[in-house]
Structure 1
Amino acid sequence: MANTAEGGLIPVASYARTSQDAPQRDARGVRHQHRINERTAREHGCVVVATYTDNARNATKDDRERPGFDHLLADLHRGHAFAAGPLHGVVAVADDRLYRRPEDFIRFTAALTSAPGRVYVDRDGLRNPYSKAGLLQGADSLQGAVAEGETRSRRVQDWHWSRAMDGLPHSGPRPFGWQEDRRTLHPVESELVRKAIEDRIGGGSMGRVAREWNASGVTGTRGGRPNPQTVTQIITAPRVCGFRANRGELLIDPATEKPLVGAWEAIVTPERWAELCSTFSAGSLYMHRGPLSPRLTDRKSSPKYLLTGFLRCGVCDQPMGGSKSSRSRKSPYNYVCAAGRGCGRCAISGPLVEEAVERLLSPVDGQGRVRLPEPMRLRWQSGEMGFEEKRKVIASVFTHLVIASGRKGCGAWDHSRVVPVWKWADRIGGADPAA
């Protein structure tokens, strides 16, 4: 049983989150959740001593910050809230308020169970987060939240595709070069775009265009300062010649079998836009924002090896990259510190370091700094967990991993060379090797 506060009640933290705060923008949704949490806590022998709130914060996308959630996890690792005293549990109206992604489920479970005797409370009652049944219940909730998020995502994608097929403008912030109606050309910005296109076709650089725009005080529609990448995105967007695109692909009019023309004024002709695009290298052209997004060239930039971007050389502290190796069947690829960018004096077997990471996430004795929930561990080890999901799990646990230099002539695998730097190093304790 959890430790109790004065009066025999278990002190818990109340967490509330909403994805949107509209139309009133008065935080009514999170206030409503906290009120329900207080009632739920009383009904199950608990008392709310601290509240944590993320208003209008999406929990599905991995690039969205949730300061309230991060603060809650930090206090759980410490074991108390600074002003409210000890915390022995968490109450929320539903699991999906806390997590909608596997990495957030791992972080929350690790923080909640970082000390013994804690509880999780929702409207169904007390849950033991240390038991197999409790973990399975949390994993089931996660699976439901992921499925619901995918369903909503498909609906939104279908809605945007239908608007695009009608030739309607994008529904987001107004594009640079057009008025607020997204149809009429902006007299100043459209001329800047047209001149930049002509300059590029004539052999000019995007760096020079960006410097000219900055010198003239030009800012983007969100207030940002232009740089070569944003200028390239602006002038190579299909909208500049009137074409409509959706999710990285030009839409084709089924009647004419030609690119679909949108209901807005074009800045240049399609021929001029195609000539502009031919001046850029593969992968540089804009179709829609975001990493790993499809390009006109159908090329994607994505990691090939599991730990790309996570490893640092223990000699010079530079990033280490993966490369193929034909010298060993046991190690068909290695992670190396490249000479020139780094010292070139450190390398490690790819399978070795990935096995070491798996040991850190699923320690054999169960006494490690972090342990994956059992359903997630089984999915990882059985091969059911995909490449990208594994990378997200790793990113949620480690800041990076330092690779110490190996001993010359030592043929045995030495897992202690892999030294983790935990995301919560100040709360978890010292970083230990994966021995």
Structure 2
Amino acid sequence: MSHPVPLPLDDPDASFATSGGTTVRRTVLPSGVRVLSEHVPAASSTSVGYWVGVGSRDEHEEQFGSTHFLEHLLFKGTAERSALDIAVAFDSVGGEHNAATAKEYTCYYARVRDVDVPMAIEVIGDMVTSSVLSTDAFDVERGVILEELAMAADDPADVAGEAFFAATFAGHPLGRPIGGTPETIRRTARSQVLSHYREHYIPNSIVVTAAGAVEHDRLCEQVAAVFGDAPDARPTPRRSALPAAEPVVSRLEVVARPTEQVSIVRGSQGLDLRDERRPVLSVLNAVLGGGMSSRLFQEVRERRGMAYAVSSFAPAYIDNGAFAIYAGCSPDNVAGLLAVIDDECRRMTDTGITESELARAKGQIEGALTLSLEDTDARMTRLGRAELGVGEFTDLETALGRVDRVTADDVLDLARDLLTRPVVTAVVGAVDRAGLTVVAKAG
């Protein structure tokens, strides 16, 4: 397979073989529910996911934090099952089940033996379609979420990350914390979360994916049974690429904390999911801060001993993205560390990367992509993101080919675009803002 496979919403049934010898099938049920499966020969387990194309960026102003709140509540019971019943269903077969809330989607997933797939489809489907969101459970879970937020607030790296996103996407929903804030969670009413549930958790907005020991026709029958009374409907259109965030403005955010180490996140807006340069970005990221052989790791940790942890990362969304560097160091090293980061970014924009670095980065990326697909969870997730994201399935062979075609000149061109954008710096720890201002505006 040399090209991505489009997943049009008006195509009720599709099937194709992947380069790894698996078969992917996709069916749009009359209710608008989309079902995708990847049969993996010799697998004895299956990963199942129910995806809803709603994340924290989709919340109305009075609902901030509702998406994550709802994720918690769906485990608290349905008309037919208590919270204990749900837990026992998976524990009694040695299965795993959980959920994740992101900025653009929510996923409820499980991994079970092949014989237990019907149970997983039924139980998670019951949670997604028929949760009662009881008042008692709502009050209890509010306390749990406040504890979760407090735990995150005690992690300087988490605080720095949230401060970075808030500044990079100022005034835009992408800048909001996924879990809300203690203030928004305290004032959230059950009626607001219930409204969010009824608005978004509808059959034609739901995608069900499964990978491993799965038989597609049987899977479709099981999913159809979950949504048996749903009227016929077309799938909900995919997320639009608008509105995009305003261009980033250079900012320094300092959160004073009496910590032993200072956490730093420094970067800017990046590339969105549709950008054809994302394979180039993966190479740039690998060379600059993507591993122990990266320039930042070698210069900051191995040569100078200025930090224990330093890395770069590049999250992407349908209409925007970010590229940033994270590091943790002692307060005395902050200014020097920021200067080294800037020097390495300037070196990248001045001279690009060497052919040996290019080859090493390609090997790193291609190996990681290949190894990740040994896991049925990763395959299940790939299906869900393909369906809800850009609407096309990218095979491993296609992905590897895109990376292999990246040149050193491509990386240099992208570096001169990406690494010269206005810089946002978030610093959390025992630091003096005045001493950082000049350094933080450099580059």
Asked whether the two chains share a fold, i.e. TM above 0.5, the reply is: no
Higher relative contact order (CA 8 A, sep 6+): 2
Which structure has the highest helix share of the two? 2
Larger radius of gyration: 1
Relative to the length of structure 2, the TM-score reads 0.24
Relative to the length of structure 1, the TM-score reads 0.24
